Structure 1
């Protein structure tokens, strides 16, 4: 016997949906596939990866295809129901397909205007002749236009459905209402495989709806509505279980990737681009000369959260080996979250694509709401990005989707902070007035600088029409400097991204105030590093060199609970501070004893003062160099090693993470790093080369761009050189060979982790 077909689900609808999905999936796969990420060709890497792990690629393809199939089954079924209720059940496949293409086309246009950066590679690398179409959309429309049309279509369907229910009140119309609610649940939750199973049952046994008593539909509808309310109910239930520790201030560490210090309060046309941060600064202590220890995200956060230098815990680049990662959160390198847990705190991490570092090491969080980063996830992203009709649903720009593929959270061109704000709000509801900490990390300012609509228009030139109109593609091998118009556009994108983060930060503060949390909370605002934006010869990016103020000088504002915050004559501190000061400051505030010695200092004794009583020097070092080609000054002043695509390995047993596991390469990277010490007035940079060690000494106040090297004739040269060697020998257990610093090897460290 064949399947028991129902008029509502004729088998031809299934066939049309499958053929439609297969056709467009193959069409976009053939004509819209690229091995480029943010403008960098990773074709050789992906070909090597796909060859070695072809099974993973097949499972990825199945995953993306399944999402597409579920969405098309949903759309075709809803369009067919409309025709069915209008007494046209024999509608042709052409008409059905045309409506689905219209709906998906409108959703795509909405997504293009909301996040044009997501489609940047399509319009600027694959099919640049189509770029004027994107220009037209973003210049003359806004997402609301397409939302309105889509809303009218949905309202039309709802009208037809409820008219059918009102006129007939039969099982068929109630069953369609149940069907719509089920699809809505699956769409908002992202459980697409359950959706496909649901459709398989419908097409096989769909006629069974005729056996259900019409009164039973009332119970089913009630249960479905309850399911819609379950997340909110569950959040309130969890709030009771997480509120055992009362009276302890919640701790919020809020950071933006690449946020430069000089952008706080920076004015354009007489108006500050950070109005919310400016207002917050009035409630906190502002540290004006604050610096990160290493301008790369993973090691910078490892330093901040352990209070130790990268040269001590050994996570010194974005791709640490398993042995290096395991040191984070160990007995020798406990994190802030682990120490807070000892006194009853729960810890959360929330972030967008640059926050992919948090799942990759034991930072001590109870929950991590951030994307991961590995070769498998990159493959999912590459495959999904080729499917233009699918992207609006995967990014959630179409009616609250965005949960289908968690891998899309790590999409570097998706600079929308609203999705992580929702997770932040959920945690606040869940925790109530309990003891908890949240580390919130926004990536909107990280290159390729991708604020969503309308922010990408805020400070950019409306008359600029080039490849940097919506984002800055990054190619580390290209040392050419953009022309004046392009440089202005890139800086405008960066300022727009800063403004977008400030709005995001304002929403966070408003949420804390609305919940009555703000006054008694500890709130820290900072950044993992800054960004060079073509000042002098510094290029664009971070981690490649230590010249200038742009890449290490970051904001640092801390607000303590109102009830315990002593009245001080000054809330601005101008002495130099370091990101490793945050750990001992919090330990000091909470009175948590620690066995470790720290290179940083508690800042509590200096609250209300304006400077240190004695001269202080802080340390910084460069990150890993991604490219072994180019004509930048720092690529000439370096000990060469292969580019990142040659250094890395994909480790299947580590969830296909991309790592540098060869100990020779790891030690070469450590040996080659540029290092610096600086005080409030001067900066000394140590640069090992094949020809010997170079030193550069700059006057930070008179020469902030570091153009005039004062070494070796300045009186501070010898003193700062001695302090740099002393610092590295102390915290890295390094040795000297002539003027070269020889880092300690991880294999030489015997430690019980």
Structure 2
């Protein structure tokens, strides 16, 4: 329509011999054409892959994806047929534990093979100095071995650029915990409206502050960008490593049409019809974090969450289909993962990384690996950790494993169907406010608004105020677990409080009084792990 209007205007301008008008109309037509083509992002043609001597790797992750939404978890909805097919053709780490159920420390452990106190990323607000990782990451090693390494993400994956992973190509949002970015985004009403009109290539280039907002889901756009990168990379003999990480399953649980209608009752009249509401500002998030389950419409929130899971799985299916049609599947390792799960009040609160009580669903992540060298059809039940993924992947790629990793190579144990007898250690993240269900004597610190500081005004990066940081470290709950037992350390103002859970029989009942020998053995191991944390020592 714009093209027709421009053509008519140009015709009359020429007829009238009006040169300025001709120039104006032509300029307007060029602008229209630029906007039209800049906002179009087409699916790539099927790639004609060239022969590659080394396996490719494609990691596909979704922030806050719960492990129990995958098939084989006794969930009442079939949400992940595409991921389940990958699992059936490959390896699933059924009980994979992340050390901290928060994005920055979780992905730091995943991509370095280190415990948080060794890579120094303890929360989502690391200092600029701590963003410089202390030793080579998985990406550094792949770069050294000739891989093209690239990362694609939306607002939830800013840490892939902020932390020194050193991807060769990066297409992610700016650091979301930055005062300058937050000020550029403006009031919530304005930014949410603007984000509706910037969900395109033009918005990404010129208004990234609004393009990457959670107001419009980017699941489909990111999946298409991933396929475009696969198409481009497949034309070269250089092996590639592509990491796609989306906010598809993150709060506020908004999915695209028709997904948000999949599970919501047609007669639903509540305020969370399309999205978990009242999360537009830090103040609202803090207030909601402090509410009990009575405040929330939990069934509808779960309906929305499951819709997001279904959309993510469908996008995984499109990527896998593209890989297969491009004849890349025989030489490509595909990994499905998350940074953490989500807690829907199973432990007394919502969110992630707030408490370690019992079989905390926010601390377990889905982890599926399929490709050359990967055992087929194995659902590996023993306890594993996200820090084990890096050495395991390096083994599959025939790359020497560094000796200074905390994680272990799982392939020998998987092939032998033998438990590596590992213990998983965890710690809580930073509480945004006073979390329901905390121990009455729990060590506390100010809420997130008062806790953060901007020590480097030039960068604008938000970090934990150094005055409060020792308290933040000291206040962390810690835990150790294997397949059957989980021991939790709770920091109080007097002395630590311990809780013991039997994960096989009653995962939310404290049985510490009934098993003194188990408690003593796990306490010794947990205390040793805590004492190895230099910041814990200095905070006392």
Distance (Å, rounded) in 1 between the aligned partners of 2:191 and 2:172: 24
Equivalent residue number for residue 286 of structure 2: 476
Post-superposition offset of 1:701: 1.4
**Helix, strand or coil at the partner of 2:129:** helix
1:697-729 Cα distance to aligned partner (Å, 9 max, x none): 00111123x133334634311111111122333
Post-superposition offset of 1:517: 1.7
1:218-271 Cα distance to aligned partner (Å, 9 max, x none): xxxxxxxxxx99x999xx9xx99xx9x931111112111111111112799975
Equivalent residue number for residue 106 of structure 2: 300
2:326 aligned with 1:515? yes
Distance (Å, rounded) in 2 between the aligned partners of 1:487 and 1:693: 33
Equivalent residue number for residue 339 of structure 1: 141
Distance (Å, rounded) in 2 between the aligned partners of 1:625 and 1:719: 30
Contact 2:98–2:364 at 8 Å: present in 1 too?
Answer: yes
1:38-96 Cα distance to aligned partner (Å, 9 max, x none): xxxxxxxxxxxxxxxxxxxxxxxxxxxxxxxxxxxxxxxxxxxxxxxxxxxxxxxxxxx
1:521-564 Cα distance to aligned partner (Å, 9 max, x none): 111111100110122x5221001111233111111111122xx4
Distance (Å, rounded) in 1 between the aligned partners of 2:13 and 2:209: 45
Distance (Å, rounded) in 2 between the aligned partners of 1:603 and 1:174: 69
Distance (Å, rounded) in 1 between the aligned partners of 2:128 and 2:438: 29
Equivalent residue number for residue 602 of structure 1: 409
2:163 aligned with 1:361? yes
2:339 aligned with 1:540? no
1:187-234 Cα distance to aligned partner (Å, 9 max, x none): 6548xxxxxxxxxxxxxxxxxxxxxxxxxxxxxxxxxxxxx99x999x
Equivalent residue number for residue 325 of structure 1: 131
Distance (Å, rounded) in 1 between the aligned partners of 2:192 and 2:155: 21
Which of 675, 680, 703 aligns to 2:483? It is 680
2:498 aligned with 1:695? yes
Post-superposition offset of 1:514: 2.6
> Structure 1 716/188 Cα, relative in aligned 2: closer, same or farther at 3 Å?
farther
Post-superposition offset of 1:391: 4.1
> Structure 1 691/391 Cα, relative in aligned 2: closer, same or farther at 3 Å?
same
**Helix, strand or coil at the partner of 2:462:** strand
2:398 aligned with 1:584? no
Contact 2:196–2:216 at 8 Å: present in 1 too?
Answer: no
Distance (Å, rounded) in 2 between the aligned partners of 1:387 and 1:447: 17
Equivalent residue number for residue 184 of structure 2: 380
Contact 1:188–1:401 at 8 Å: present in 2 too?
Answer: no
The answer to which structure has the higher helix fraction is 1
> Structure 1 541/266 Cα, relative in aligned 2: closer, same or farther at 3 Å?
farther
> Structure 1 661/624 Cα, relative in aligned 2: closer, same or farther at 3 Å?
same
Equivalent residue number for residue 260 of structure 2: 456
**Helix, strand or coil at the partner of 1:636:** coil
2:206 aligned with 1:395? no
2:77 aligned with 1:274? no
> Structure 1 174/420 Cα, relative in aligned 2: closer, same or farther at 3 Å?
farther
The 5 Å alignment of 1:120-131 reads none
Distance (Å, rounded) in 1 between the aligned partners of 2:33 and 2:188: 22
Choose between structure 1 and 2 for higher RCO, CA contacts under 8 A separated by at least 6 residues.
Answer: 2
Contact 2:86–2:369 at 8 Å: present in 1 too?
Answer: no
Range with greater deviation from structure 2 (477-486 or 427-436): 477-486
Equivalent residue number for residue 250 of structure 2: 446
Equivalent residue number for residue 742 of structure 1: 537
**Helix, strand or coil at the partner of 1:608:** helix
Which of 14, 29, 33 aligns to 1:184? It is 33
Equivalent residue number for residue 422 of structure 1: 224
Post-superposition offset of 1:650: 2.5
Contact 2:423–2:480 at 8 Å: present in 1 too?
Answer: yes
Contact 1:544–1:634 at 8 Å: present in 2 too?
Answer: no
Contact 2:35–2:202 at 8 Å: present in 1 too?
Answer: no
1:364-423 Cα distance to aligned partner (Å, 9 max, x none): 111221101211211222258517774432224xx9765430112431333231221232
> Structure 1 514/379 Cα, relative in aligned 2: closer, same or farther at 3 Å?
farther
Distance (Å, rounded) in 1 between the aligned partners of 2:518 and 2:216: 46
Distance (Å, rounded) in 2 between the aligned partners of 1:384 and 1:165: 41
2:510 aligned with 1:708? yes
Q: Which has the larger radius of gyration?
A: 1
Post-superposition offset of 1:303: 0.7
> Structure 1 345/661 Cα, relative in aligned 2: closer, same or farther at 3 Å?
farther
Unaligned runs of 5+ in 1: 1-153, 191-227, 735-740, 746-753
Distance (Å, rounded) in 2 between the aligned partners of 1:543 and 1:424: 29
Distance (Å, rounded) in 2 between the aligned partners of 1:483 and 1:385: 27
Equivalent residue number for residue 656 of structure 1: 460
Equivalent residue number for residue 60 of structure 2: 254
2:215 aligned with 1:413? yes
Contact 2:6–2:29 at 8 Å: present in 1 too?
Answer: no
Normalising by the residue count of structure 2, what TM-score does the alignment of the two structures yield? 0.87
Contact 1:415–1:444 at 8 Å: present in 2 too?
Answer: yes
Equivalent residue number for residue 79 of structure 1: none
Distance (Å, rounded) in 2 between the aligned partners of 1:254 and 1:715: 42
**Helix, strand or coil at the partner of 2:335:** strand
Distance (Å, rounded) in 2 between the aligned partners of 1:267 and 1:615: 22
Number of residue equivalences: 523
Unaligned runs of 5+ in 2: 280-284
Task: Calculate the aligned-residue CA RMSD, in Å.
Answer: 3.3
Distance (Å, rounded) in 2 between the aligned partners of 1:325 and 1:384: 29
Post-superposition offset of 1:443: 0.6
The 5 Å alignment of 1:71-150 reads none
The 5 Å alignment of 1:211-222 reads none
**Helix, strand or coil at the partner of 2:158:** helix
